[in-house]
Structure formats: C-alpha cells, structure tokens
Structure 1
Amino acid sequence: MKNYRLTPWDTKSLGFKTAELLDLDNLDTEQQLIEVLNMVEKLLIKQSVIFVYTRIKAQNIIAKKILQEKGYYFAESSISVVKNKVQKFTPYKCPNIDFVDFEDQYMNNLKEIARDSFDYSRFHEDPNITENSARNRYYNWIDDLINQNQDVKVAKKGNKIIGFSIQETNMDNNKSKLILAGCAKGREIFVKSLWNEILIYNKYRGVSSIETMISSANVGVFNVYNYFDFKVENTFFGFHKLFKKQSIL
C-alpha cells in the first residue's frame, strides 16, 4: 500500500511542491502510524516537497494525536454525504434550466465559475494559504478533470452558462461520485434547479446512489444536499504540514 502521492496539480496552483498522505485510517496502531509517517516524510523531503496534507476520519483519535505531535495542524473539516435509491427520485418543481453536454467552447466559463464562485475547500480554509492560491487551484482543477474524461454537464439559462457538474460514474456498480458542482456567482437562485437536474440525469443513466464530499463549513450547500435527502456518512478532519519553516501566505 502506498501511503502518499505527489500532487502536481496542486503544485502548479500553489507554487510549491505538494503531496497528499493516503489511507492513514487503515493503520491499526499508534506504532504503525508513527513508522509510516516517519518513512513517508523522509521520502517526501528527499523529493523537495514543502507542503503535505491528509484527511482522516473524525473518530480516529490515534491519528489526531500522532499527527499533531508530528507537527501537523488542523486546517479544515469535511463530510461525506450519499443519496441512495436514486431510481425512486421524484423531481422537484424548480425554475427551468437546460442541462447539456460539455463542449470545448464552455471551458473558460467553467474555469471562471470554479475560481470565482467556490469559497470552500481544503485550501480555502487553511489560514496559511492565500485566497488567490486557493482560487487558482480550482481554476486549474477544471483542466485536470476534463483531461481525465470525467462526466461533465453544463447548466444554462438561455444563452448564459450558470453552473456545471462534474462526476465520476461507475456503471459496474451503478454508483456516481460527484466531484465538483455549483452555480456561478449571482446565479444562486438556480442552485436547487442544478441539483434537481443532476439527480434526474443520474436516474436516467441508471445510477442507484450518488456520493460526494463537502466542506463542513459550507452550511449553504449542506442545506441543499439535505433538501434533496442526502444522508451524512462520515466526518473527516484535514491536517496540513509545512516541512520548511517559511510563510506561504
């Protein structure tokens, strides 16, 4: 099991080399966790990584303890939510919007919406990361998701692009993971319309359940998911660490 990955997409946006720790919740004992962290940190430092981050389940007392003892600081909290029985979803009455396939001509619009309209993320909520860097990360993330051939849909009202959704769908088990979705700034009135269309689309495709991860601080979007009967599965705490004692503000 590899317990880390380099994250060049974040390196590009933040301007310093980054990495993510993986699967810490699968380590059973305090000693295992210490040994893995010591090993991985040596490897990352050799690769000139400056900034590392991870998420653990909120119930993982051992990891919370060891991470803080190793110099990691608490930066953000997120929750995983899921909606089952998508095939039984009955659409709500919402303002009408068009929900269309992505085209290359929409790329800049999606990148600008992601940069300007999304205010919560593992980096937005880290006081050591500038807002500009966090927004730049979302802007560049769209490129990566398009290149990964994810399922991208665009929400339009007339000729105006008002939002989008990007998901990963596994038709082997009829499950979807909603990676990123939202409306443009000033178009929040269509938020429920967008999620209504997301669910209609997944129902049409034969999807049985949809899951996603959202910031615990984003009360507005949590209420949207609650409105559409998504249930909380788990809470995660995000811990970050700077290997070099320097400001990244």
Structure 2
Amino acid sequence: MLKLERLVVDTPALSVSYFEVPWDTAIFGSPVAQLEGLELRQPSQAETDFSGYERWAKERGVALEVCKLESRRLAEIAWLQARGFRWIETMYFPLLADLQAAPPGAADPALTLRLMRPDELSEVQAIAEQSFVTSRFFIDPQICPQRGAARYATWVRNSANDPAQQVLVAELGGEIAGFFIVQEREQEGQCSAYWHLTAVAAAFQGRGLGKRLWRLVMDRHRERGCRQLRTAISGHNLPVLALYGQLGFRFERAEATLHRGVLPPLDLP
C-alpha cells in the first residue's frame, strides 16, 4: 500500500495540511502534492507561514499542486489565485440518506449487473479512459488529457486488485454498457455504500441508460442491506448532477478544487 504522510501548518495566521499524493505521483512520474483545509486567520501574515509548504514542494520537485477546500471559502480561494493557483472545478457530494426507503427500480431483464471478470479489465479501462472528460485532469488546460486517461485506467486496475472494492459491469445485449466501482462499509451495525467511479460506455450514451443503470446498482445495495449511499461528482457533469436529483439524492456539501503547475504529455510508447 502506498504511504501517505500528512504535514500540518497551524499558526495564528494560517492553518493547512498537505501531503504528496503517492498514487498520482506513481501514475504521472512527477510529484503531485495536495493541500486541504486551508483557513486564513491573519491574511497579512499568512504568506510567511505558507512559505514553509512552498519550500517543501520545491525540494521535492512537485509538478502539480492541488488544493481542495469548502467552496464557500471565497477569501481563501482568492488568496490562492493571487499566488498562481487556478480554480478548476467544484465537486458535489450526493447522499441518499435512506436507501431502504427509496422505491425500487422497475424490472429490467435486458440489463444485467455482475462482477467484472479479469479478462474484461482492458475493456473496462478503455471505457474509463473516455468517460471522465468533465473531470479536472481533462479540463485543466495545463494538463495533457493523456494523463487523465492514464489516471482513470490505473484507477480501474487498482480497484480490481483492492479486496475492499468491487468493479461491477452492466451488460446489455452481450456487451459491457457501463461500470461502477463500489465499496460497502459496515459501521456501528449499519451498512453504507460508496461509489468511487460510475460510467456509461460511449457507445451506449444518449439512450436513457443512465437512470436504468443507476437504479440497478442502488437496488443491489438495498438488497444487501445498505442504509446510505454516497458518491462525488464534478459540477461540470451537469447531466449526472441532474440524474442524482431525479433519483432522490441531496447534496451534502460542495468543494472547490484549484491547481498550480503543469503536467505535459506522458512519454508513452
């Protein structure tokens, strides 16, 4: 398992935590750092305290810096933008608080859901490479889209090897029409589910398949006793945001993502 070492700045002027993102560093071959929980307490003095993080990033040769913080922290966002960070996206976090009370989907015998087989990994990776074009690694003009495709393909492979997660594929007419990466957790006697990645294959988009597939996976979690269901979605993905509203989800919170740095094309064969 890749190690995550979190460092913290907590002074009268500034609070922030940061760490190198080992999975992205491994994929891109260039160090990626992430900052979280930035809070300006004395903006006029914060620059001095932030310089410690910047020295740390420079010493490690960090190529891309990512900052995630509550979207309502406009003062912090403006402060970061003045230092070369660029706003990339707002992430929303849908929650279905009582999955057991949600109405089940209609019977849909044409669409089946099952675990991905090992020999299907490359096909599911190909779907992932094309499916997340509204995510930050595709829409940031300072990042080569090739890197976004590599990141999501690697995500699928890592999840397939993670015993805590399951890669589910939806089959329609003998073809893989989409996939979900899901994780179920037991806490205080209650089961909850989290969707890491969700996608409909490009060849099946525009057919109204999304709602059918989302309901099918919801029904699976309900039958397995899950009480709550959570996920995350980029604000740039408007059709899926609307879908979550139609399915009865509410949005718990919103999180802004900012980037600083450049990731050029990967040197791939």
**TMscore range, shorter length:** 0.7 to 0.9
Measured at CA, do residues 30 and 73 of structure 1 come closer, stay the same or move farther in structure 2, by a change above 3 Å? farther
Quote the Cα distance in structure 2 between the aligned partners of 1:36 and 1:94: 59
Residue 147 (1) aligns with residue 161 (2): yes
Quote the Cα distance in structure 2 between the aligned partners of 1:39 and 1:198: 46
Residue 166 (1) aligns with residue 181 (2): yes
- Equivalent position of 2:14 in the other structure: none
User: Does the CA-based 8 Å contact 2:104-2:219 persist in structure 1?
Assistant: yes
Calculate the TM-score normalised by the size of structure 2.
0.82
1:91 CA drift (Å): 2.0
- Equivalent position of 1:180 in the other structure: 197
With 40-49 and 213-222 compared, the bigger mean Cα shift is at 40-49
- Equivalent position of 1:208 in the other structure: 227
1:55-66 mapped onto 2 (5 Å cutoff): 55-66=68-79
Q: 2:106 aligns with which of 93, 100, 103?
A: 93
1:28 CA drift (Å): 6.5
- Equivalent position of 2:88 in the other structure: 75
Residue 230 (1) aligns with residue 244 (2): no
Measured at CA, do residues 33 and 108 of structure 1 come closer, stay the same or move farther in structure 2, by a change above 3 Å? farther
Quote the Cα distance in structure 2 between the aligned partners of 1:180 and 1:192: 15
Consecutive unaligned residues of structure 2, counting only runs of 5 or more, are 1-5, 8-16
Runs of 4+ in 1 over 4 A off after TM superposition: 30-36
Percent of matched pairs sharing the same residue? 23
RMSD value over aligned CA atoms? 2.3
Letter in 1 for 2:149: R
- Equivalent position of 2:34 in the other structure: 20
Aligned residue for 2:94, secondary structure, equals strand
Letter in 1 for 2:162: Q
With 229-238 and 9-18 compared, the bigger mean Cα shift is at 9-18
User: Does the CA-based 8 Å contact 2:92-2:255 persist in structure 1?
Assistant: yes
Residue 122 (1) aligns with residue 136 (2): yes
User: Does the CA-based 8 Å contact 1:94-1:192 persist in structure 2?
Assistant: no
Deviations 1:172-197 (A, max 9, x none): 14222211011100212321121011
Deviations 1:116-138 (A, max 9, x none): 22222121121111222222221
User: Does the CA-based 8 Å contact 2:132-2:138 persist in structure 1?
Assistant: no
Residue 29 (1) aligns with residue 74 (2): no
With 174-183 and 7-16 compared, the bigger mean Cα shift is at 7-16
Instruction: Write 1 or 2 for the structure with the bigger share of strand.
Output: 2
Quote the Cα distance in structure 2 between the aligned partners of 1:94 and 1:56: 41
User: Does the CA-based 8 Å contact 2:64-2:263 persist in structure 1?
Assistant: no
Measured at CA, do residues 247 and 175 of structure 1 come closer, stay the same or move farther in structure 2, by a change above 3 Å? closer
Q: Which structure carries more relative contact order (alpha carbon 8 Å, separation 6+)? A: 1
1:11 CA drift (Å): 3.1
1:13 CA drift (Å): 4.0
Calculate the TM-score normalised by the size of structure 1.
0.88
Residue 137 (1) aligns with residue 151 (2): yes
1:164 CA drift (Å): 1.0
User: Does the CA-based 8 Å contact 2:18-2:35 persist in structure 1?
Assistant: yes
User: Does the CA-based 8 Å contact 2:135-2:236 persist in structure 1?
Assistant: no
Letter in 1 for 2:57: L
Quote the Cα distance in structure 2 between the aligned partners of 1:12 and 1:213: 23
If you compute each CA radius of gyration, which structure gives the higher value, 1 or 2?
2
Quote the Cα distance in structure 1 between the aligned partners of 2:192 and 2:170: 22
With 110-119 and 68-77 compared, the bigger mean Cα shift is at 68-77
1:148 CA drift (Å): 2.8
